[in-house]
Amino acid sequence: MDLLRRDVLKTVAASIVAGATSSEVACADEASVENRFPSAKAGHTAMNSRLLMTVRIAAAPSQKLGTVPHGNRTVVPVTGGHFEGLRLRGEILSGGGDWLLLRSDNVLELDLRITLETDDHALIYMTFQGLRHGPPEVIAALGRGEVVDRASYYFRTLPRFETSTESYAFLNRMVTVGVGEARPDGAIHRIYEIL
C-alpha cells in the first residue's frame, strides 16, 4: 500500500507542478483555480486538478528521538491550526502529530495524522504521507527553523480523508495531492483535488 501511494504521489505531484498555476493563489480566488495537466496523448487520459483547501498547521517543539533502524526519527505534535476552501473550512484539533523520518539519503518521510473540525462541527480524519528533500544546506536550514524559499526544496504529500458526515462524504472518494511549505511554527499545505 505504501509503495502504491508513493508511486501515485510521484506521478501526480510531478504533473501538478508542471501544470499548476502559482501556488500563491488565495483561497478567495479558489473558484478560478483550475490546474491543467499536459494534453493527453493517444491512449492516455488528461487529468485536471483544482485547489480543494489550504491547511495551516501549528506545531509544538519537535521531539527528537534520534537515530533509529531506518534513519533519524522526530515527532512533531500538532497543537492546532486551520483550513479553508470553497467547500469546507474550520479548525485543526490539537492532539495530532507528524512522525518524521530523515533517511540516510537526506530525504524526509512524513506521516501526518490530524483531525479537522469544520465550521458546522463535522469531524474529518486527515492523514498523509509524503516526502521533503532538497540541497543539504536547505534541509539543514529548515531543520534549524529558518525560513527558506519554498522553490528551493521538494515537499509533496498524498492526503487522504475519512468522515461519517454525509455533507463531506465526497472527501472519502477523492484523490488529492498536497504541495507543502515548511515554516518555523508549522507548515502550510495547499491540497489539490485530482478531478
Q: Domains of the chain, with CATH numbers? A: 2-194 (2.40.160.20)
pLDDT of residue 30: 41
Determine the Cα–Cα distance for residues 94 and 111; give it in Å rounded to an integer.
Answer: 16
pLDDT of residue 98: 94
Mean pLDDT of 120-126: 98
- pLDDT above 90 for 77: yes
CA neighbor of 162 nearest in space, from 141, 148, 176, 144: 176
- pLDDT above 70 for 156: yes
Within 10 angstroms of residue 118's Cβ, the number of other Cβ atoms is 18
Grid cell locating 56: 495551516
